[in-house]
């Protein structure tokens, strides 16, 4: 209960000269701290769980500053996009936004608009603010794609250069099929015994029985396919798959590391004699071998083109926003970021205090 009485951080005070600490004016549009914090909620909570208090504060300020800049750009572009938009298109956009909200409410809030509004209110938002933000994002994405994509060209020599400089990401390493017959000591113990508590005599007797069964399996392999023998003799987790662990590019993690590394020394079809480990006997065989290969330039050039196009689009978009911002009137960003970040910190402090009060 003592934690519940702990003093909370003081409320955010507007910075002198600013309209209000948690409000930012972008030309004639208003951006609130709640609108900036809402899309950051999951990332802020992750930072709260994983960072030290100091690291959390730095992370929150970084996230808030980044999102604030993004939303300033969105507001500026939205105003430009809507300026010459016909009324018919405006109505079409509004319908699309309402439909998306209806789908969200149906999927995540059981069709209850009241629950959705309560969720927004808990974050300091109204339904109208959420709807407007959604509409801005929708319009800006479409407007920027139509306006800027035609300016972006990716030459063939750029594609080739990227392919050569990043060739390793188009390489697939050699893989080998791991085939295992596993006969654990535990499986042949008397029903009332455990391997870690069994006495020396029981252990010795069990080891002999397991070795005898492993040799029977080895002899059977001279006459039958590995898969058939594995299904008959193996007690491992992949027995039903004929002892196949599939293709691997490197040895497995313990306790199968010593066993699995052998196939990287074998030819296809080569197998080991029965191998004793701390847990039982194993017979290992190298199945098929898939050689290393590299995807050709022709195979990946479309993927590279999309990647380079997106990179250029990001740069062109950023430049476009900067040019708009040069002619915009934006109130003090630093006080706004500080106020929004403090609001996020206060929210966590209040939640922690409320949780402590319930204990």
* pLDDT score at 355: 45
Total domains in the chain come to 2
**Do 55 and 27 belong to one domain?**
yes
User: What pLDDT was estimated at residue 349?
Assistant: 54
State yes or no: pLDDT of 309 exceeds 60: yes
Q: Choose one of 235, 268, 290: the last residue of a domain.
A: 290
Burial of 234 (0-12, 13-18, 19+ CB in 10 A): buried
182 and 325 part of one domain = no
Tell me: do 324 and 274 sit in the same domain. Answer: no
Q: For the chain, what percent of residues have pLDDT higher than 70?
A: 91
Provide, rounded to the nearest whole percent, the portion of the chain with pLDDT above 90. Answer: 72
Give residue 356's pLDDT band: very low, low, confident or very high (50, 70, 90): very low
Residue 353 has pLDDT above 70, yes or no: no
195 in the same domain as 109: no
The whole-number pLDDT of residue 348 equals 59
Decide: 125 and 131 in contact? Cβ < 8 Å.
no
Q: Are 280 and 186 in contact (CB under 8 A)?
A: yes
Residue 212: per-residue pLDDT = 96
What is the distance between the alpha carbons of residues 280 and 251, in angstroms, rounded to a whole number? 19
Helix axes 41-50, 333-358, angle to 10 degrees: 60
Higher local confidence (pLDDT), 274 or 347: 274
Q: Where are the beta strands (DSSP E) in 139-204?
A: 171-172, 175-184
pLDDT of residue 18: 38
Q: Is the pLDDT of residue 223 over 80?
A: yes
The pLDDT assigned to 297 comes to 95
Domain extent for 27? 3-156+303-358
Write out pLDDT tens, residues 44-56. 999 999 999 999 9
Torsion sign (Cα): 161, 163, 169, 173: negative
Report pLDDT digits (tens) over 335-345.
999 999 999 88
Mean pLDDT of 7-20: 38
- Predicted local distance difference test score (pLDDT) of residue 21: 65
Do both 17 and 136 map to the same domain?
A: yes
**CA 288 – CA 224 distance, rounded (Å):** 17
Residue 163 inside a domain? The answer is no
pLDDT reported for residue 352: 47
**Averaged over 8-12, what is the pLDDT?**
36
**pLDDT score, position 22:** 80
**Domain harbouring 212, CATH code:** 3.10.50.40
């Amino acid at each position: 209960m003592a934690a519940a009485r702990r003093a909370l951080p003081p409320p955010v005070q507007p910075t002198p000269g600013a309209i209000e600490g948690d409000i930012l004016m972008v030309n004639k549009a208003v951006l609130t701290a709640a609108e900036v914090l809402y899309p950051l909620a999951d990332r802020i909570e992750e930072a709260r769980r994983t960072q030290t208090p100091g690291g959390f504060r730095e992370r929150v300020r970084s996230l808030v500053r980044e999102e604030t800049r993004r939303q300033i750009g969105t507001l500026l572009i939205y105003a430009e996009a809507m300026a010459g938009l016909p009324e018919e298109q405006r109505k079409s956009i509004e319908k699309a936004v309402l439909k998306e909200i209806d789908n969200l409410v149906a999927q995540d809030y059981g069709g209850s608009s009241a629950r959705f509004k309560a969720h927004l209110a808990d974050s300091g938002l109204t339904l109208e603010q959420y709807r407007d933000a959604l509409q801005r994002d929708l319009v800006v994405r479409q407007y920027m794609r139509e306006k800027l994509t035609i300016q972006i060209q990716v030459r063939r020599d750029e594609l080739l250069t990227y392919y050569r400089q990043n060739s390793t990401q188009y390489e697939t390493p050699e893989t080998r099929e791991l085939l295992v017959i596993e006969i654990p000591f535990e499986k042949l113990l008397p029903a009332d015994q455990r391997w870690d508590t069994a006495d020396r005599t029981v252990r010795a007797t069990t080891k002999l029985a397991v070795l005898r069964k492993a040799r029977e399996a080895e002899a059977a392999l001279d006459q039958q396919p590995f898969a058939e023998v594995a299904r008959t003799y193996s007690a491992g987790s992949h027995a039903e798959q004929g002892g196949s662990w599939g293709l691997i590019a490197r040895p497995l993690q313990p306790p199968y590391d010593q066993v699995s590394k052998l196939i990287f020394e074998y030819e296809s079809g080569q197998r080991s004699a029965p191998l004793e480990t701390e847990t039982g006997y194993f017979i290992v065989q190298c199945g098929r071998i898939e050689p290393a290969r590299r995807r050709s330039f022709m195979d990946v050039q479309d993927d590279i083109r999309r990647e380079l196009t997106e990179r250029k689009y990001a740069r062109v978009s950023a430049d476009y926003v900067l040019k708009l911002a040069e002619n915009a009137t934006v109130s003090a960003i630093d006080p706004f970021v500080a106020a929004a970040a403090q609001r996020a910190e206060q929210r966590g402090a209040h939640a922690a205090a409320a949780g402590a009060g319930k204990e």
